[in-house]
Amino acid sequence: MTEQPSSPRVEYSVDRGIAIIAFNRPEVRNAIDDATRSEFIGALERAANDEAVRAVILTGNGNAFCAGGDISGMQQRLQAPPGQIAINGWRRQKRLHQGIAMLHGLPKPTIAAVNGAASGLGCDLALCCDFIMASDAATFAMSFIHRGLVPDGGGMYFLPRRVGLPCAKELIFSGRTVAAEEALAIGLADRVSAAATLLKDAHEWAVQLSQGSSTALTLAKSILDRTFEIDEETALALGREAQAICYTTSEHHESVAAFLKKKSR
């Protein structure tokens, strides 16, 4: 009897230049185990290296975005010999953080289309994206505290930058659930969409965000993502260097020529 191939834990598709990366473990609310993490990193690499992809949407199949780390996997890891638990955890965290850095540093606009619960690591992953569009059924929870853990997927870095430090502390210390409308009000989400049209709305937004010069967009994003950590002089210096590159691109030359041609009519 031929063994049937298992379904991918992470689905990857491209629709009119927009890559859609979807967690595909709906039976466990898209919880992330080691295999899912590896597939996710592979999907990010694929999107980053495809010049035809201009933006990325991250979402989940079923009724959840991502419920966080797989609890059964956590239980198995704790059964390792005591002397190996810490180093094994360090290695897993290093691999996870490779994916976090790749998602945050992707040289293209990224949108988290949060279709349901984004809890723990799932909330962290949404925060790693440039923008968050929540369905009216979405919820967010920094639920690590309920497992005796701290946010390990970038939430302690990204959340304060979205909602401010006191609000971030309150959400992390309490681990409480935030509904879509509150998420929008406090800046945790950028837009709220009807559940039935979430992916369509996210796709339209991704197209709007990615129509301009890909070179200019990539360089602007790389600088903007550093502006909380650098001073004004450094930001201006990075801007000068980026602009010098933009001056050489065909996108800049063609747009100037098209503008002057239109003006001369």
Statement: residue 1 has pLDDT above 60 = no
The pLDDT of residue 4: 45
The domain boundary residue, chosen from 191, 209, 227: 209
Q: What are phi and psi of 56, to 5 degrees?
A: -130, 135
Percent of the chain predicted with pLDDT > 90? 85
The pLDDT of residue 81: 81
Domain total for the chain?
A: 2
Same domain, 58 and 36: yes
The pLDDT of residue 262: 86
Residue 220 belongs to a domain with what CATH number?
1.10.12.10
The pLDDT of residue 74: 62
Q: How far is CA 184 from CA 31, 40, 85, 119, in A?
A: 24, 27, 39, 16
Domain range for residue 250? 214-263
